[in-house]
């Protein structure tokens, strides 16, 4: 996947399923989290898959 490519898929995505996904769900999650001042990233876990981390700012009332 090229950095900044909105609906890209990782190189290994074709190794699973029928390969018909577009990566749209993760792009939407990233956009939503960004609009709330948060961050989202992926941590590789060799032999275990990946860990998707979502960080949101604490709200004060």
Mean pLDDT for 20-43 is: 85
In a domain, 17, yes or no: yes
In a domain, 44, yes or no: yes
| Tokens at 47, concatenated | 């032999």
Contact status, residue 7 vs residue 24, Cβ threshold 8 Å: yes
In a domain, 49, yes or no: yes
- The model carries a pTM of 0.55
In a domain, 61, yes or no: no
Structural domain containing residue 19: 11-55
In a domain, 2, yes or no: no
pLDDT at 42 over 60: yes
Determine the pLDDT at residue 12: 57
Candidates 40, 38, 42; CA nearest to 58 is 38
How many structural domains comprise the chain? 1
In a domain, 31, yes or no: yes
């Amino acid at each position: 996947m090229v950095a900044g490519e909105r609906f890209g898929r990782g190189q290994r995505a074709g190794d699973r399923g029928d390969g018909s996904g577009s990566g749209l769900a993760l792009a939407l999650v990233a956009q939503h989290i960004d609009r709330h001042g948060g961050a989202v990233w992926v941590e590789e876990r060799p032999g275990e898959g990946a860990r998707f981390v979502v960080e949101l700012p604490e709200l004060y009332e």
